[in-house]
Copies of this chain bind each other. A is one copy, B any other.
Amino acid sequence: MRPSGRAPHEMRAVSLERGVTKHAEGSCLVKFGDTHVLCTASLEERVPPFLKGKGAGWVTAEYGMLPRSTHERMRREAAQGKQSGRTQEIQRLIGRSLRSVVDMKLLGERQISIDCDVLQADGGTRTASITGAWVALYDCIEWMKARNMLTVSPIKDHVAAISCGIYRGVPVADLDYPEDSEAETDANFVMTGKGGICEIQGTAEAEPFSQEELMSLLGLARTSIADLVELQKKAVGL
């Protein structure tokens, strides 16, 4: 029995609210149950140095948690003077995931910066971030199209993510914090709308896991991500 009473394959209530900030070219407040992440997409007419003059654009991401988004207050990274290894790992993952569904030549020499800021955390912040970031990115592209900066969208597909894990011996989807902190195995899956795998990160917390367990987690992820892609479609009106 899961602490939340959910069935093993059951995700938390997911919502994707667009247009939540006045300034950003695209934005989305994503909620996976009590995990709430504010995602914004910011268009900048510049590219990182390694891309200058190459006719291609870039998508990058930064991630942060508000100090009291967590059960105990965390120290503010800006006050500590550095981002933790975990923060850097997550923002690199978000950036890679989004880049895997964007045609950089079509984007042109521009950078879109995605900021994912966790307002409230209850497990699965990185997967919620990726799922919401896609919506913010989509809206940023629409904003550009509306201004004739692009005629063809450089977005090739949806991308969404879910965490699955073995909790008390049972493979379950969309771990919340009580599950996450106890799970024997924890895996994050990033997949496209067509079902291709962009990223898979599985970690044995206590005992190593087997290929069969990996397969069952992948199966749960596939179904969940298909549902998340449907929610993305609804959110942006596709």
**A23 (CB) vs chain B CBs: closest residue:** B71
Q: State the CA gap A89–B115 with chains docked (Å).
A: 20
Q: Is A79's CB within 8 Å of the partner chain B? A: yes
B-contacting 9-mer, from A1-9, A144-152, A190-198: A190-198
Kindly state the interface size class of chain A when it binds its partner: 35 or more
Within 8 Å of chain B (Cβ to Cβ): is A231?
Answer: no
Contact digits for A25-46, partner B, Cβ 8 Å, 1 yes 0 no = 0010000001000101010100
Contact at B71–A208, with CB atoms within 8 Å?
Answer: no
Q: Complex: how many Å from CA A230 to CA B203?
A: 24
Query: Is A85 in contact with B92, judged by CB distance below 8 angstroms?
Result: yes
How many Å lie between the Cα of A137 and that of B66 in the bound state?
A: 17
Instruction: Assess A115 versus B76: contact at CB under 8 Å? Given A201-B201, A204-B197, A210-B197.
Output: yes
B40 & A22 in contact (Cβ 8 Å cutoff): no
Among the stretches A50-58, A116-124, A167-175, the one at the interface with B is: A116-124
| Chain A interface mostly | mixed
Most buried by B among A92, A113, A209, A211: A211
Q: Is A81 an interface residue (CB 8 A)?
A: yes
Point out the residue from B21, B69, B70, B83 that lies within 8 Å of A119, measured CB to CB.
Answer: B21
User: Contact: A199 with B204, CB < 8 Å?
Assistant: yes
**Residues of chain B contacted by A92 (CB below 8 angstroms):** 85-86, 89
What B residues does A201 contact at CB under 8 A?
200-202
A157 CB to closest chain B CB (Å) equals 8
